[in-house]
């Protein structure tokens, strides 16, 4: 899986194949096809692994357990930490996530990530607000990634706070 993630990071999703992953991992082609019979299975597994990036940042921040803290500020800091880390990993996570638009086999994985993250956020707020915060954070991240602009934590905190009742 690490090799598959590296391939997508270097070549994009279009460059992902059993052959490219086997070459990246320096293993025989049969090793990848043994574990992942189809390219769809390989892509689904890559998406599952890539989706762990932001979830790990959220878990490490402790913001989901701290019910007394400033949720907007906490989320803005977590986004800054995630976007300030390995940018290739963030780009990869979004590339695989957005690939579900064209590849229906990926939709259940993308939907599960969205549901799980919204459920985690709902520990600090109501379910509707949690989904709105998640959508807003996705929008902020995509704008930063697509424009190359620097992440503005103050702006993120302000707009996130506007969504929280």
Distance from the first to the final alpha carbon of the chain? 41
The pLDDT tens digits for 68-98 are 789 999 999 999 999 987 777 788 888 878 8
Distant-in-sequence contacts of 142-149, Cβ < 8 A, 24+ apart: 142/94, 144/83, 145/90, 145/91, 145/94
| Predicted confidence band of residue 129 (pLDDT cuts 50, 70, 90) | very high
**CATH class assigned to 51-163:** mainly alpha
The pLDDT tens digits for 27-74 are 998 888 888 988 888 888 877 777 777 878 888 888 888 777 899 999
| Predicted confidence band of residue 118 (pLDDT cuts 50, 70, 90) | very high
Q: Which one is predicted more confidently, 67 or 157?
A: 157
The 3-class SS string of the chain reads: CHHHHHHHHHHCHHHCCHHHHHHHHCCCHHHHHHHCCCHHHHHHHHHHHHCHHHHHHHHHHCCCCCCCCCHHHHHHHHHHHHHHCCHHHHHHHHHHHHHCCCCHHHHHHHHHHHHHHHHHHCCCCCHHHHHHHHHHHHHHHHHHHHHCCCCCHHHHHHHHHHHCC
3.40.630.30, 1.10.10.60, 1.20.1260.10, 3.40.390.30: CATH of 1-38: 1.10.10.60
- Cβ atoms of residues 165 and 129 within 8 Å: yes
Neighbours of 9 (CB within 10 A): 16
Instruction: Give domain limits for the chain.
Output: 1-38, 51-163
Q: Which one is predicted more confidently, 154 or 1?
A: 154
């Amino acid at each position: 899986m690490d090799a598959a993630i590296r391939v997508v990071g270097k070549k994009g999703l279009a460059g992902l194949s059993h052959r490219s992953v086997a070459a990246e991992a320096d293993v025989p082609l049969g090793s990848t096809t043994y574990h992942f019979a189809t390219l769809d299975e390989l892509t689904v597994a890559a998406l599952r692994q890539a989706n762990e990036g932001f979830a790990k940042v959220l878990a490490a921040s402790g913001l989901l357990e701290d019910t007394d803290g400033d949720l907007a500020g906490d989320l803005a800091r977590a986004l800054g930490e995630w976007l300030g880390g390995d940018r290739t990993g963030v780009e990869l996570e979004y590339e695989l996530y957005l690939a579900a638009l064209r590849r229906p086999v990926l939709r259940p994985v993308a939907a599960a990530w969205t549901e799980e993250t919204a459920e985690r956020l709902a520990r600090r707020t109501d379910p509707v607000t949690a989904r709105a915060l998640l959508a807003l954070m996705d929008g902020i991240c995509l704008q930063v990634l697509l424009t190359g602009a620097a992440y503005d934590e103050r702006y993120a905190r302000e707009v996130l706070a506007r969504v929280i009742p």
